Amino acid sequence: MTNRQRAFWTIPALVAGFCLRAWFVLMHPRIGGDGSVYGDIARNWLQTGIYGLTGPTGVRPTLMRLPGYPLFLAICFKIFDAHGYAAALWAQCFVDLATCLLVSGIAREIAWEDSKAALIALWIAALCPFTANFAAAALTETLSLFCVALAFYSLIRWRRRLRHAGPVTGDDRQRSSSSNAMNLWIWVIAFAMAYAILLRPDGGLLPAAVVPAMIWVVWRHGLGPIRGFGAVALCSVITLLPLIPWTARNARTFHQFQPLAPKYTAEPGEVSGDGFHRWYRTWAIDYASTVSIYWKYDMESMDIGELPRHAFDSGEQYQKTDKLFSDYNELGETTQAIDDRFAELASERVAANRVGYYLLLPSARVANMWLRPRTELLDIPAQWWRYNEHPVATLFAAFYAALNLAYLAAALLGFVRALQQRNSLPVLWAAAGFIALRCLLLATVDNSEPRYVLECFPLVIALGAVFLAGNQRKSPPGINSAESSSSPRTTPFGS
């Protein structure tokens, strides 16, 4: 396919993708909740130099959120508008379109440089409502998606440079140029992984998947310790460097070792809510429970009528839970005594059903995150299945659920096809490892939110495009079958 033909299909995809994101920004912007917290931190950081939240007595330092997204907002506020989020949301639209281009590049590599797969991936990514919707939200998802796509695309480019660099010996100009390019991609990989960690604590899953793939590639190419493993070690060190000043700041300000952010976003000295969270994990599955119970704890009153039947093992336990809810609602906030009573109730329920608590419920929550309609940012009720109450919303949510399932099915089939044809196996296994690690981590999370698996969608879309593109070539362009089967640089892991 010529450059003109690629432009003929690429430009309309980007225009259509921008229009979709612009519609979400104009019609369904989401600023409140976590977005307000991030914005408050960013403004205080700009105006007072304190990384903190506004309180009754002024600005108080905080460690409840990592600095990656507040830094992004602070830059947008500084350049455009210190009191609005519009510039940040429009900037996210362009970041998300860049992610679409990176996803296209990933699909092209997995499909043996097939332009058809690349264009399909670009169009799917550009028109994906699930990811486009988050460009209109003051949340970390859009930037996290970009980091995932950039890390995997850079891994591909770095690996390709290794393949074309030839033997280690020699000092000709071409090899020097390839070496400089390899070093450049090392820095890009490190940037993507470092910023992913600064955005969210679970960003550490990205280097956990990418770095082993880099070690695999270096080992199979037979590179020396300095040129190969030294470069991977350098990439790992650069990835962790930004955490040093953040950890030092937390140790100096709060006198505790906190390299990321606390699991329950509690400040030092506050009630962590461990008892409540453990009790919640004994019954919660669906996102609807997150909205009606989980988010209200320590902020609003909770209604026992919102709990499902399986939240109680007996009538006596129901009475105990009802009394606990009443005492909490009367106080209007949690206390250590209230949390201890939730912990006691949780221990009672865990002892009665350990298999459910440690295996069945975590698996159900992860499945809910993957399969639930991705309508959480739209004006769709959390209990979308109640057709008699909101038939239009139910039908729309069902359509979203079917579309989401189609994405996942295409990705699975694309992974199997690429695996059978031995297409870019280090990248494939890194992608599978990233998704698997994310599922394992999410099995430990209390609240089921569909957005927690959204970071996997750059890979889901790329793999789905490989399936939709049909059969790919059996070997990459420029490499004959003999080289593919005998060269240590391509066997048994593809090009």
- In tens, the pLDDT along 354-388 reads 999 999 999 999 999 999 999 999 999 999 999 99
Contacting residues for 36 by C-beta, under 8 A, at least 6 apart: 138
pLDDT above 70 (res 3) = no
Q: How far apart are CA 455 and CA 343, in angstroms?
A: 32
pLDDT above 50 (res 158) = yes
262 in helix, strand or coil?
coil
Q: Tell me the pLDDT of the chain averaged across its residues.
A: 87
Mean pLDDT, rounded, for 66-87: 90
For the beta carbon of residue 131, count every other beta carbon within 10 angstroms. 27
Q: Which two tokens stand for residue 162?
A: 């290794």
H helices of 135-286, where? 141-165, 173-199, 205-221, 230-240, 243-254, 274-281
Contacting residues for 324 by C-beta, under 8 A, at least 6 apart: 338, 341, 342, 345
pLDDT above 50 (res 44) = yes
Return the higher-pLDDT residue of 260 and 146.
Answer: 146
54 in helix, strand or coil?
strand
CA distances from 457 to 43, 100, 131 (A): 31, 11, 8
CA distances from 315 to 275, 280, 377 (A): 21, 18, 37
Q: How far apart are CA 28 and CA 30, in angstroms?
A: 6
Predicted local confidence at residue 112, as pLDDT? 77
Predicted local confidence at residue 225, as pLDDT? 57
pLDDT above 60 (res 170) = no
- In tens, the pLDDT along 203-258 reads 999 999 999 999 988 887 666 555 677 888 989 999 999 999 999 999 999 988 99
Q: With cut-offs at 50, 70 and 90, classify the pLDDT of residue 422.
A: confident
Percent with pLDDT over 70 in the chain:
87
pLDDT above 50 (res 79) = yes
Return the higher-pLDDT residue of 348 and 165.
Answer: 348
pTM of the entire predicted model: 0.90
Q: With cut-offs at 50, 70 and 90, classify the pLDDT of residue 458.
A: very high
Residue of 39, 128, 108, 113 lying closest to 75 (CA atoms): 39
159 in helix, strand or coil?
helix
Q: How far apart are CA 166 and CA 443, in angstroms?
A: 44
Tell me the Cα Rg of the chain.
Answer: 24
- Of 21-35, 100-114, 224-238, 412-426, least confident by mean pLDDT is 224-238
H helices of 388-447, where? 391-420, 425-442
Instruction: Pick the most confident of 79-88, 237-246, 418-427.
Output: 237-246
Contacting residues for 10 by C-beta, under 8 A, at least 6 apart: 119, 122
Predicted local confidence at residue 183, as pLDDT? 77
Chain centroid to CA 127: 19
Predicted local confidence at residue 182, as pLDDT? 63
Q: How far apart are CA 336 and CA 322, in angstroms?
A: 18
